Structure 1
Amino acid sequence: MSSFHHLPTEVVEEIMSWVPADELIRFKRVSKSWYGVISGLIDDPSFVAKHLRHTKMRFSSSLIFTHFCPHLDHNGVDCQGDIFSLVTVLNGDHDDDRILSVIEELNLPPPRDGGHNRLGRWRIRYHSDGIICLVQDARTIMVCNPVLRECRLLPLTNYARNVGEFLPSAMGFGYDSRAKQYKVVAIWNCVTVKVEVHTLGTESWREFILPRDMDIAEFVYEAAVYRMGVCYWVVRDFEGHDMNLCFDMSDEEFYVTQFPDLSDIKFEVDWAGLSVWDDYVALIVCFRDYNCDKYPLFVEIFVMVDNSSGDKGASSWTKQFSIGPIVDFVSTLSVIKNNEFLMQDRDKQLVSYNLHTQKRRHVVIHDVDRLRHWACFYEKSLVSVKSR
């Protein structure tokens, strides 16, 4: 088909809304008529939103990994830096013993020069709706959409102007559905907890001070989990109790929710972190029995249930799954679509564990050396960072 002119506009839009974002960009090269039609759709906010909804309905899951390796810079000089790889896990027939995957390199902009023939490193990575937020330090924060090959360096935070290049204690990135804008949240845990919020498309950061009744000693994990307009962090008070700090992107208000009761866990917790599972905020808790041979791994998954009253901070937790004992796995990643739990074995190979059937399946990856460090989930989209 060389032209769309014989098809109704709404039919063309519906067809194109199901085409993956990167394929749609490539289709622009087919002909001038295709270029014009697709360019018009990509510039239409309603089509971009519809395309994003369809993208979220796909059964495949994509994850970004990084590995540090030597390569040539733009001057041909040997240097070292991070390489970003995108792994798409294709959730096929559950009767298969293997899951196919596709691995590709993401073309993300390099950070500032780190000196001594070493590139600086993107230390924190966030993702929301196809936009990746990269953080090198307080002075270098960038958002980009690799599919559209768009990047935007954010203005200096007020903290960076006054203090320096120290990394924030915690950060978050997500969408304000009321204002229809994406926002970046940076938090510094100093004498007082200072917060700055940047709205994409503006040229400044706005300062907040956390309410005094929020007794926060430290951020247990610097990265936030974003779900339905709210960023969540795990924080610890001065008495050593963990809780969830939440930030409503639309109201720009902080509130605290309780942490699940982990007192029945018999062993010391190795790792615990927030994730999103089946549209719920989930806490993944990993622990091992070091008294047994091979140190078997146990995993418990709790989900946050919103209180029917609608009051912020009135959520509760329910234990959804218990996994284990399992051996020969060194790390857990997160829950992906179709109730598959992703883990890495001692050889860095990915293994998917179905939470309902308890079946393990090997994820076929041809270049496992590129899977050194998991960064974040990712969805290819047409959301622009320039128009926001």
Structure 2
Amino acid sequence: MSQSPLFQLLLDDLVYEILTWVPVKSLIRFRCVSKSWYSTITSHKFIKTHLDRAKSSSNNNNDYLLYKSQRMSSSPNELCTIVHNSDRTLSEISSFQIPDYFVYIVGFCNGMFLSADDDYDDYDHGHAVYLWNPSIRKYKKLPPSHFIHPFGHSDYCFTFGLAYHYQNNDYKILKLIYEYSPGEKVPPAEAEVYTLSTDSWRRFVISVVSSSGSRPLGSVDYLNESHLLFFNGALHSIACSEDYKFILSFDANDERFREILLPQNYLDGVSLLFEALAVFKGSLTLFVFGEALADKSNLCHLWVMKEYGVVESWTKKTIQRKEAAEFFDCIVDGTVKGECYTFWPFWKLSFDPESLNKEIFRIPNAGCIINATNFVESLVLLDGINISQE
């Protein structure tokens, strides 16, 4: 007996609904079931729906660490991904042979990592930049920038950030280039934006809107060396304009640069070693590492912005800490925990700033850990052009 068109439509809708909840690894296999399933799973609409379901799932409590392998059998540019499971065990899920040895993970969003090498290429007018989704084992090398920076090769710095443009279901990469010469007059920082849907770069003029909206702050001289933080639809970095320090935000939707005020007098009594932005339990957070001027003890201040963009909502928590070689990210699942991952000379450490609990990771053959994030598996890049397989 043949099925009615209405029944078939309902059946197709039911299958579609079920598939949106299926894990990525299974969906990759299910593409072989039929042409219609392949078309569905690789469609732009399905990839977005599946991502939205994955982000809303309460099971997304795993943290991911990326590190360079020191296995004898591996090449020096093997990048490995391990998951720090909710039961505190570790599992390797992917390894990626990156074409460039001096690679940095400079951004993460919706299951994708953004990486850039540290070697300026005269032919490509810049750095080799990649988008990588370890869940589907695919990556994309971005087209070369057509922007030649006037500073020369020895006196400039660059920073990247990866953002999700929710309104257009698209991804953007912001590249900021600046000269860092303390005590000297420097040219204004400059910017480029890459859009995934058009696979192209655009030049941008940095003109910062003040937090009061009454006047533009103008140009930016230099920025914090860490990568740009994506939060609340915008990319963030600590920036300076002449002698004025503030948080620079770039809205992925309207593509405007804005000012967010830092906590007032947040460096009083502190000899600063370094500072970094992170998302801690759903709020923009400033980590300040330094030495107390009063007794020379090491400390860490956590400044949490309870209400985004409101300077009066900054609240401080002080943590005494041991000397750490490198702080590189904050892990958040939104409501339950927020852990800092710190690289010490001989081990890797997870630290909870609220409970003060510590956990040492023993990762076989691990070189330097270069990124940590609360990860959500996605199908992003499955439907893209010029995509390569690991």
TM-score by length of 2: 0.75
Secondary structure at the counterpart of residue 379 of structure 1: coil
Correspondence for 2:211: none
User: Residue 260 and residue 103 in structure 1: after superposition, are their counterparts in 2 closer, same or farther (change >3 A)?
Assistant: farther
Cα pair 1:195 1:209 within 8 Å, conserved: yes
Q: 2:218 aligned to 195, 214, 224, which one? A: 214
Determine whether 1:370 maps to 2:359.
no
Unaligned runs of 5+ in 2: 1-7, 121-125, 180-186, 208-215, 386-390
CA distance in 2, matches of 1:165, 1:147: 36
User: Residue 194 and residue 289 in structure 1: after superposition, are their counterparts in 2 closer, same or farther (change >3 A)?
Assistant: closer
Correspondence for 1:202: 198
CA distance in 1, matches of 2:316, 2:331: 12
CA-based RMSD = 3.5
Correspondence for 2:84: 89
Correspondence for 1:253: 256
Count of paired positions: 347
Correspondence for 1:186: 175
User: Residue 157 and residue 297 in structure 1: after superposition, are their counterparts in 2 closer, same or farther (change >3 A)?
Assistant: same
CA distance in 1, matches of 2:317, 2:304: 7
Determine whether 1:39 maps to 2:41.
no
Correspondence for 2:5: none
Cα pair 1:348 1:372 within 8 Å, conserved: no
Unaligned runs of 5+ in 1: 74-79, 93-98, 112-119, 308-313
CA distance in 1, matches of 2:83, 2:258: 35
Q: 1:266 aligned to 259, 265, 269, which one? A: 269
Query: Amino acid of the residue matched to residue 39 of structure 1?
Result: Y
- Residue 382 of structure 1 and its aligned partner are, at CA, apart by 0.5
Secondary structure at the counterpart of residue 39 of structure 1: helix
Percent identity reads: 16
Q: 1:153 aligned to 141, 144, 161, which one? A: 141
Query: Amino acid of the residue matched to residue 130 of structure 1?
Result: G
User: Residue 269 and residue 22 in structure 1: after superposition, are their counterparts in 2 closer, same or farther (change >3 A)?
Assistant: farther
Determine whether 1:141 maps to 2:129.
yes
CA distance in 2, matches of 1:206, 1:83: 31
Secondary structure at the counterpart of residue 99 of structure 2: coil
Correspondence for 2:305: 303
Q: Once structures 1 and 2 are overlaid, which stretch shifts more, 155-164 or 375-384? A: 155-164
CA distance in 2, matches of 1:265, 1:341: 26
- Superimposed CA distance per residue, residues 244-283 of structure 1 (whole angstroms, 9 cap, x where no aligned partner): 1111112111111111234465332332111122332221
CA distance in 2, matches of 1:200, 1:302: 32
Correspondence for 2:159: 170
Correspondence for 2:54: 55
Cα pair 1:221 1:235 within 8 Å, conserved: no
Cα pair 2:106 2:228 within 8 Å, conserved: no
State how 1:80-119 maps to structure 2 within 5 Å: 81-92=76-87, 99-111=88-100
Secondary structure at the counterpart of residue 213 of structure 1: strand
TM-score by length of 1: 0.75
Secondary structure at the counterpart of residue 264 of structure 2: coil
- Residue 24 of structure 1 and its aligned partner are, at CA, apart by 3.1
CA distance in 1, matches of 2:92, 2:291: 31
Secondary structure at the counterpart of residue 270 of structure 2: coil
Secondary structure at the counterpart of residue 51 of structure 1: helix
Cα pair 1:201 1:386 within 8 Å, conserved: no
Determine whether 1:123 maps to 2:124.
no
Query: Amino acid of the residue matched to residue 50 of structure 2?
Result: H
CA distance in 2, matches of 1:174, 1:386: 18
CA distance in 2, matches of 1:291, 1:69: 42
Correspondence for 1:66: 67
CA distance in 2, matches of 1:254, 1:247: 5
